[in-house]
Amino acid sequence: MRTAAKCFLLICAVAASGVAQSPQAPPPAAPSALAQVIDRIITQENQLSKSIARYHPLVETYIQHVKPDRELGAVPEKDEYFLGKLNLAGGIDDHSLLSAPSLPAKSLKFFNRFFSIRFLPSGFAQMALVDEAGFDRQHYDFEYVRREFLGEVRAVVFDVKPKKGSGAGRFLGRIWAEDQDYHIVRFNGTYGPTTSYRHYFHFDSWRVNMGPNLWLPAYVYTEESDFRYLKVRSLRFKGQTRIWGYDLKQGSREDEFTKIVVDAQNPVRDQSDTPADLAPVGGLRAWERLAEENVLQRLEKAGLLAPEGEVDKILTTVVNNIQVTNNIDIQPEVRARVLLTTPLESLTVGHTIVISRGLLDVLPDEASLAMVLTHELAHILLGHRLDTKFAFDDRMLFADEQTFKRLGFRHDAKDEAAADQKALALLENSPYKGKTAAAGLFLKALSAQAGGLPALIRPHMGNRMADGKTVSRMAQLMNSAPQLETARKEQIAALPLGGRVKVDPWSCRVMMLRNKPVALLSAREKLSFEVTPFLPYLTRQSTTEQVAAAGAVGAVANTGAATGNGGGATDQFKTSGSDHDSQGSTETTMAATEARPATPAAPPKQ
Ligand SMILES: [Zn+2]
């Protein structure tokens, strides 16, 4: 218990440094009013425990086991990943959060198996609720601490301790409840008591306002620096759990349907400019586009693909830059979308390039993004087609859990090599010519760390970027890259996970984070490919501004905010200029990319 308390205090101290606190805040009211506040918090939490069963969002947990490192403090040595659908109906019956290699994952009852499960995912889902059975005055003591702002939301803070003899799996830690309706918006601590066969991790769990009177779990950060189990074994790890897709619909089709207006006076006429049946080539293209649309809609419906949005436009701009300078005109036009998962991957579905959120996060600059997108563009140009079997609707009729078994978009080694060659040629004749040193450096960093990150580099549907320590994507770019210097803080080869893209957990919309870059104190803050604590900037959704507010609620602060500094070049699509003289301007931010006209500047001079 002593160790547990120590960890808890440490986490609190770190977390508290990033939030505004009102000095010398008096208790909110007289004892009786305080008692009422506690009662309301208890009521709201127990209502959430019941109502959450109606939602089935996706839950993704990514864990990195770390080992001490002389230069970087700690580095990942292996990782774990799982993705599933949350199913909290029927209660949680297994509080154990540990599935050590010697302990089989025995209870997956409330977690529908989705892809791969090796840790015990139910343990991480558990951290979405304080205590689904017994969060009340009979089981807990509450002690008022202070008022505090979490983002825009003012919260009352309590320390919560289980009463003696109140049983296993009780929460011990601190809760933050917003001061209008008294929903718990954050809780931080652990469960207990730990026994020889039950182990509990420390966690920091956050909820987000997703509508009037609706605060739902969205982020959980877990960390242990010296977790002992089975007497002698020790775990050091950190992990992120993300929950999204509370409002999964059938794509955008429902909206479309409501827009159909029946007007008997003016019979509906097909507005398309095709005067007659399609010619064979046109027919084939339409058929392929149908398969593409089917796949995209199915992925969106499963909550795996973000709805079309602002990030897609940024990606498309980069793709257009490549096409225009190479005099390419692809019909139907090339589009881009974001896969919401963490593992690093990109793929092509027909003429749509898909890039994962995790990969977008870690790419250091626009030229590196161009490298990834150009490889996929090359597949399209080379006619590496989507299997048109997906044009048949019945192929889309499967359970969400089957998605990655049914939909695969991998190319063979020959096509991969051909796409790499073509992509290099395209980049040579693009605005990114001479700027690919950072992309090569990124691949070097990937090569250096991939051995410790097997789960991060294992794609769901696309081709691998690296196989073990061997980079299998655009590896030629590494030849022109500078030497990788992990100990030098100025050289940012890859960014941490979670620093660039935020996901609205209700609608699955993705947005770019726009944090100010802050100089790093040491190489320990580079955190390439690493997970970092969550510190969302909480806001309330007004009923009139649902969409706008949705943008802010998902705002996960980067590492820096949680540790009291800026976290480096997280938001900027730039590298530290001094490292790559070829990089030139360091102003290639995401915002700049977005603002750039689709027609790029003059082609590079030869
Ligand atoms: Zn490929």
What pLDDT is attached to residue 74?
84
Q: How far is the CA of 593 from the centre of ligand 1 (A)?
A: 24
What pLDDT is attached to residue 251?
41
Q: How far is the CA of 369 from the centre of ligand 1 (A)?
A: 14
| Among candidate residues 231, 168, 228, the one with its CA nearest the CA of residue 7 | 228
What pLDDT is attached to residue 396?
85
What pLDDT is attached to residue 129?
87
352-356 and 335-339 beta bridge pairing: parallel
Region label for 232, one of left (φ > 0), alpha (ψ between -120 and 50) or beta (otherwise): alpha
What pLDDT is attached to residue 269?
53
What pLDDT is attached to residue 16?
29
Q: How far is the CA of 416 from the centre of ligand 1 (A)?
A: 5
Q: How far is the CA of 419 from the centre of ligand 1 (A)?
A: 6
What pLDDT is attached to residue 23?
46
Residues 6 or more apart from 16 whose CB is under 8 A from it? none
| Among candidate residues 170, 73, 96, 103, the one with its CA nearest the CA of residue 131 | 170
Which secondary structure element, helix H or strand E, spans residue 405, and what is its range? helix 403-406
Angle at which helices 366-381 and 310-325 cross, to 10°: 70
Q: How far is the CA of 507 from the centre of ligand 1 (A)?
A: 29
Taking a C-beta distance cutoff of 8 angstroms, is the pair 278, 286 a contact?
yes
Query: Which 8-state DSSP code applies to residue 180?
Result: T
Q: How far is the CA of 600 from the centre of ligand 1 (A)?
A: 25
Give ion ligand 1 contacts, CB < 5 A. 411, 416, 419, 463
Residue by residue, DSSP assigns 211-245 as ETTEEEEEEEEEEEEEEEETTTEEEEEEEEEEEE-
Neighbours of 402 (CB within 10 A): 12
Region label for 134, one of left (φ > 0), alpha (ψ between -120 and 50) or beta (otherwise): left
What pLDDT is attached to residue 168?
83
What pLDDT is attached to residue 84?
81
Torsion of CA 492, 443, 292, 81, to 10 degrees: -80
Q: Splitting the chain (606 residues) into consecutive groups of 10 residues, what average pLDDT does each group show?
A: 28 30 52 91 94 87 89 88 74 32 33 35 72 91 97 97 90 96 96 74 93 94 75 75 84 44 49 64 88 94 94 96 95 96 96 97 95 97 87 84 84 96 96 94 96 94 92 94 92 91 95 81 90 92 50 34 32 37 32 34 38
What pLDDT is attached to residue 563?
30
Neighbours of 511 (CB within 10 A): 18
Taking a C-beta distance cutoff of 8 angstroms, is the pair 48, 129 a contact?
yes
Q: How far is the CA of 385 from the centre of ligand 1 (A)?
A: 12
What pLDDT is attached to residue 228?
64
Q: How far is the CA of 316 from the centre of ligand 1 (A)?
A: 18
Q: For residue 150, what are its two tokens? A: 């979490």
Q: How far is the CA of 462 from the centre of ligand 1 (A)?
A: 7
Residues 6 or more apart from 540 whose CB is under 8 A from it? 152, 153, 178, 180, 209, 549
CA atoms 325, 330, 336, 342: torsion sign: negative
What pLDDT is attached to residue 318?
96
Residue by residue, DSSP assigns 94-148 as -------TTS-----TTEE--S---S-HHHHHHTTSS-TTT-STTTEEEEEEEEE
